Every structure is written in structure tokens, then in C-alpha cells.
Amino acid sequence: MDIVRTSMCRASRNALRAFFALAVLCVSFSTALSAVSQVIRSTEYSITLGQFTGTTYTLTLNQTLASDYFIIVRGGIDTSIDSAATPDYEYARVSAVPSGKGDLPDSGASNQITLARYASDQNWVGIVTVVECLAGTAGPGFKLITIDEITMANGVDTGTSTAPATWPSGQLAQIVPIGGYRGGGAAFTEDVPFDATGPAMGQSILTKLTRSGTSTIGWKRDAGGSTLKAAVMTVFVIQWGFEWTVQSVNVAGTNAGDGVDATGEYTTAAITSVVRADTWVWGCGFTTTSTAGNNAEACVVTLGDGVNENATETAVAVGCDEAASYDFQVYTMTQSRIAVDHAKLADGNSTALTVGVTMGQSATTSTERMSVAYNTCDGTSTTRQTRCRFRSNFTANDTITLTRGYQGTEFAAWVQSIDFSPLRTLLITGSNPAINKIDHTGTNVSVTFTDPNPANYTTGWYTTSSMTGRKSYGISLSFGNTIQRQGLTPNFDGECVETTLTTTISKSGHPLGNPRVWRWWRATGASSGDWTGDNINIGGATTYTHDSDVGDVDGDGDLDIAVAYANATINVVWLNDGTGAFPSSIDIGTEAEETRRIKFLDFDRDGDLDIFVANNGVNRMYTYAAGAYTLQFTSAQSDASFGLAVGDMNADSYPDVVVTNNNTAFTTNQLYINNYGTLGTYTCTMRNLGNTNVKSRDCDIGDVDNDGDLDIGITVFSALGGQNFIYLMDSSGWVESTVNVGPTLVNSRTIDFGDFNGD
């Protein structure tokens, strides 16, 4: 979708809007979506002796890496090493990925990733777990927002890192930074000589990660009595979909004890109640001590109080075998359709390098399961540090094997089997009319899904019109994977029609992976008319008009006109008598204000046209009933509002409102989320859209990137200069990123979306 930026007068803009809309060409959903029902693929790759012998290693995957993924790197040296081993060749991280992402460069192939470490004195062996989201990123799955490469300088114990890509606004609660020694890996960037103290134990690598403000990761580590060495870690910034409940808590304390088999040997932190079988736990942190038994690698992280296993849990716990002061950030991810089993391995196995843990569930699909384990280690030795560094992987459907680099001490562990195979999703592969299609002449609308006969499509499928409000259908027919809704109530020529498919639509209990919103335009038909002829006067000569909109307010089959007055006059709707004359009008409320923009919308989805007005002051929404408009909503904030657009921004089938502001205070633009669908009230939740350093003038809505949700275009009108831009949105109505458009230092007044070059 392209953009037209003009400086025409408001009246000309209104006259040409319909023509701009009709320039949008057909783009099928199938160009952006793939018919995949599996949501998450998880693959464990074992790197064995003789493979990773240098400072870098190229891991070839079983298939092309998906666009959304995270990688967990766990391993170390092989068992032949002696007590003088140093961690500068034991710790490795992901250093390059296909096509590059965030701070990481291109690995050179779509099915390869690169691992790196500082030194190569010995072989590196371990498990690399690659977790990919194949479908349903907005709901049952996850998105990879970016990859942050965080550098920690010598001697520095705390800091922040601004991610290379902006996180979606308002989605901080769903973000998990899966990085460092428990995630994407970490490596030293300077030599670490053996000195049998902190550096030799890898203390400089062991770091706590927090979400510290918008698009920022906070990190912290402790020297443990030695000197902090320079290091770098890889962090995958993951946004879990709306079907996931994500919680983040800090767990800091000193409780410890042999075997971590008593509640007093754990420190806990409260979380909102979760179902144990639906929840997996990930955490990372540091300790202020650095021996084999009390560094962060020897701390267990688990759900509950560490001992008792309940159907629902209200806490997470961290424990240690030896006396330690620890500080961990723990994240819980809950999804009602996954299967998680938590198993406790009792203290023991002092002579074992590998121990198989029998789980209570069998995860039978090898590409849809993941193991996560946290262990303790007996003793306070400052040598043989590989005793506490474990990795885990499935060796049978019901067995997770723990492996360490050296034996000689007992250990306990909490082990998680995470089975993603119950996650399935329904997808859309095509539609007719297609997204952004013009000249649609029929009354049938069809959508093709990945699976036949989906349930609840009549209750999860909504169509609305810019000129008549919510539309209805006659009958619905199923043709295998295609559902056809027939008898769409007649449209007006040139009107914009918007359809939302919500996650109410499902197949065998699996909801639509991503809700979808798309628009098309009704054909105008042939015409031999011109712009000559008699003028039609509407209203009095003394009114000062800023804006207008057209729609069939009284349902008589002709178009009426809503007019926004600028000279403290009550706005009105002029009623068409069917001959093109407008002899009567309806007042829009009783407020006489300076109104800059006016738009029809069906706020409560009752089939009537309600009205939203953007004022030089507070903004207002009026509902229509029994021939009258009644004020229902007034914004809490007063601004010089200039731009107004309406569309279903969060894919819940209710129209939302975008308002752009242009005053000397440079207040932010706003998105008003319609609460009628969730609260049943005529209220809106206001979301600030950012960009407070510019004076915005106009806005328009359209699916710029063809991803099935509506984006927002903004023009800038400022003596300070600026650049027009687009908010690329997600399907929940949050800004994913901002893209600048056109030249800088512009004073633009209006904007319209359209595919003018036909691509």
C-alpha cells in the first residue's frame, strides 16, 4: 500500500477520498500466510566431541529457520579436561543468524546459525535448543522482536542496553529476554587465566536480566570476590502471544540447604495463581559467591515452594545447596493448551556424568518438546568448576538426561518437560474479495481456511461499512475449507467495507491463530457525468465548515451528510430527501465547539451510524437512536485535534478511533480503544501513540504491510520540521514499529492510503 501526501484544502480532500480509495488493488491473504497448523517447533541439537573445536562453529539446522524463534545454548568442555580449565572456552553464544537480526550479523545461510566463544583450548560440547513459532504469533505462539548483543565491560557489574529494535508499545508484560548463560549464550571477550577463584568459575558470565523500561534490558552481575571480566551475551527479545500469561518476579535471598529438599532451603516470591501443568519457568541471576556449590549455575529455579507440588501455584522459588546470597529474575509462561511436567531429582549421583530423569508425562513428538533444567552442586570447591554446569535433552519420550562436564559431587535438580504438541491453530489462506480489492460487485464474501468446516464462524465474523454501519448476511455455506457468506446487505457505490475475523472462530477447539481485519471497496460503476451543473446548497451561508462525512443515517437508502462546524455552532447531520436535496437536519448533541474532523462509525455494532468528532478541545462520541444523537463519551484530555480515522485496530470487531494532535505542547497522538465489546459501556481506553516531538496534522488507516491488521499513517505539519511516518501496528492495537516516509522538513496537511502503482 502506497501513500499520497498532499497539501490540498480540506474540502477537496473529502471530495477525492473515494477516488483514492478505489485506486487500491487486490492483494491476496495467501501471499502472507502459510497453511501450517503446528504452532511451535522445538529441536534439540547435540554438539559432540570433535565438532566445535575452534572459536566459532556453524550449526546446520534440519530446515530453514523460521522468522520467529529463540535459541538456548547450554554446554561446556568435554570430560577429559583437568582441574585447570578456564571458562573462556567453556561459555559460548549465538553470534550470527540467517539474514541477520537485531545486533547479530548474517550467518550466510537460511538453515545455519553460528556459535562463538573466546578461546579454543578444548572441545566444546553441549545442547543447542532451537524453538520456532511457525504460526499464530499473535495468539498461541510468540514473536521474535529483536536480538540484543549486550557487552559488559571489565569491572562493570550493572548496566542497561537499549534494544536495536523498538518493542511493541504496551506489550512489556508479554516480553521475556531469553538470553545470557541460560538463553542465547554468553562468552568472554578477554583472556581468563586460571586462578581458582571467581573468574575461573565463570562468575563474570552469570547475569540477571530484567525488562527495564520500554525497549531496554537491565543486566546485573557480581564478581563473587574476584574481578569481573569483559564479556558479551546474546539476548532474544520474545513477545508471547495474547493466549499466554507472562509473569516476572525478582527472587533474592540466602535460604539454602543440603539437597534443597525442605521449604526453608528456598526463597520464594509471589505470583498470580497459575496451573502447574500449564506453566513453565525460566530464570537467570547471580550470586555473591563463586564456588562450585554456590555460584548461580548451582541454583535451582522452580514453580511453587520448591518441595510441594500443587495443581495450582502462587509462588516461584530459588534454592541452593551451599550457603549463598543470590539474586534471580524469574519468568513464568502459562498457556492452557500446552503440557508441562515438573520433576524433582533427589540429591545424589556423585559419580555420574549423566543422569536420566523419568518424567511423569510422555512428550512423543520430538520436534515439539523442550527440556529446561536447574541443578545444585555439593561442595565449595574452586576447581573442577564443570561439576555444576549442566545441560539437558530428551533421550526418550519420557526421559530427560542431565549431563555435566565433571563428576565427583552430589547434585539435585528440578527438571521441566514442556510439550508444545497440543498447540494447534486455524489459519486463513485466502479471501474473496481479497485484501484492499476495489470494484467488488457481488454480495458474497468468502474466506478459505487451512481446515474444513471451522466452528463459530457466524459469531466470529463481522462486516461493517463506512456508510451504513454493521452489515448482515443472508445464508452461509461451507465448501470444504472455504466458507461463503451470501447475501451481504447492499452497499453504496464506492464505500469502504471492513471485515474482522476474531479468535472465536476455531477448529476442534483450536482458535484462529491470528485475528484478521481486511478492507475492500464497492465498485462505483460506469458514469458519463461531469462536474458541471447546478450547485446544491446545504445549510446556512454563515457557517464555517471544517469537515464532513457521508452515510445513510436514517436507513432510507440514500446518503446523508454529517457536517463539522468550526465557529461554535452545533454540528448537524443533513438528511437527504432522495432527490439530492437536504431540507432537514439532526443536531449532533448540544455542544457548540470548534470541530475539526467528523466521522461516522457503528460504535456499539447495532447497525446505526454513530459519530465521533475531533475538536480543538475535548473529543466526543455520540450514538444514534430514535432519530437523535446523544453524547456518550468525552475524552479526558483536551488537545488541538486535527486528524481522525476509524477502524478495528485490535481485531475485536468493534471500531476504534485514531486522533492526531497539532498544538504547541506537542502532545502525543492517540488511539481510543472501544470498550463496548469488553465492558458493554460507551467508553474508550486511550493509548498514546508517541512522537511527542512533532505537530501531527492528519491520519489514515490501512494495512500497509499486508499482515492482516490495520496500520496508521500520520502527516507532520510543524515549523520545526519533521517527517511523515507510519505506525506499523500489531493485531492487538499496539505500535510494533515506526517507519518514516518521504522527505524531511515538510509541512504536510493530508494523507490517503492507496496502491497507486499496482504492486
Confidence of residue 245 (pLDDT cuts 50, 70, 90): very high
CA distance 466 to 291: 68
pLDDT of residue 166: 84
- Reported as a single tens digit per residue, the pLDDT across 114-146 is 999 999 988 999 999 999 999 999 999 999 999
- Reported as a single tens digit per residue, the pLDDT across 542-569 is 678 999 999 999 999 999 999 999 888 8
- Reported as a single tens digit per residue, the pLDDT across 510-546 is 999 989 999 988 877 666 666 666 677 787 666 789 9
pLDDT of residue 344: 97
Place of cell 538453515: 111
Contact between 320 and 300 (Cβ < 8 Å): yes
Compute CA distances 32 → 3, 242, 507, 667, whole Å: 21, 21, 21, 35
CA distance 463 to 474: 13
CA distance 212 to 215: 8
Q: Does residue 39 have a pLDDT over 90?
A: yes
Highest mean pLDDT among 21-30, 90-99, 404-413, 717-726: 90-99
Compute CA distances 239 → 174, 493, 636, 655, whole Å: 5, 42, 31, 25
What pTM was computed for the model?
Answer: 0.88
pLDDT of residue 542: 67
Average model confidence (pLDDT) across the chain: 88
Contact between 614 and 597 (Cβ < 8 Å): yes
**Once rounded to an integer, what is the mean pLDDT over residues 427-431?**
91
Confidence of residue 28 (pLDDT cuts 50, 70, 90): very low
Q: Please work out, in degrees rounded to the nearest 5, the angle formed at the alpha carbon of residue 344 by the alpha carbons of 47 and 336.
A: 85
Give me the architecture of the 437-522 domain, per CATH: Sandwich (2.60)
Contact between 238 and 247 (Cβ < 8 Å): no
CA distance 645 to 672: 10
Q: Does residue 81 have a pLDDT over 60?
A: no
pLDDT > 90: percent of the chain? 64
With the C-alpha atoms ordered 725, 729, 734, 738, is the resulting torsion angle positive or negative?
Answer: negative
pLDDT > 70: percent of the chain? 89
Give me the architecture of the 545-746 domain, per CATH: 7 Propeller (2.130)
Place of cell 553441549: 126
**Once rounded to an integer, what is the mean pLDDT over residues 626-635?**
95
Q: Does residue 205 have a pLDDT over 70?
A: yes
Q: Where in the chain is the domain with CATH 2.60.40?
A: 437-522
What is the 8-class DSSP label of residue 185? B
**Once rounded to an integer, what is the mean pLDDT over residues 456-475?**
90
**Once rounded to an integer, what is the mean pLDDT over residues 695-700?**
88
Please tell me the least confidently modeled range out of 6-20, 237-251, 276-290, 476-490.
6-20
Q: Does residue 8 have a pLDDT over 50?
A: no
With the C-alpha atoms ordered 168, 729, 719, 614, is the resulting torsion angle positive or negative?
Answer: negative
**Once rounded to an integer, what is the mean pLDDT over residues 91-99?**
97
Q: Give the type of residue at 349.
A: N
Neighbours of 42 (CB within 10 A): 23
Exposure string for 218-244, b = 16+ CB within 10 A, e = fewer? bbbbbbbebebbbbbbbbbbbbbbbbb
What are the DSSP E strand ranges found in 682-734?
A: 684-688, 696-702, 711-716, 723-729
As to burial, measured by CB atoms within 10 angstroms (0-12 exposed, 13-18 middle, 19+ buried), residue 119 is: middle
Strand partners, 144: 238
Place of cell 568459575: 201
What are the DSSP E strand ranges found in 491-618?
A: 496-501, 506-507, 510-511, 516-522, 545-551, 560-565, 569-575, 584-593, 595-601, 610-617
Q: Where in the chain is the domain with CATH 2.130.10.130?
A: 545-746
pLDDT of residue 26: 31
Compute CA 16 distance to the chain's CA centroid, rounded to the nearest angstrom: 36
As to burial, measured by CB atoms within 10 angstroms (0-12 exposed, 13-18 middle, 19+ buried), residue 535 is: exposed
Cell of 458: 457466524
pLDDT of residue 383: 66
pLDDT of residue 79: 60
Confidence of residue 719 (pLDDT cuts 50, 70, 90): low
Confidence of residue 201 (pLDDT cuts 50, 70, 90): low
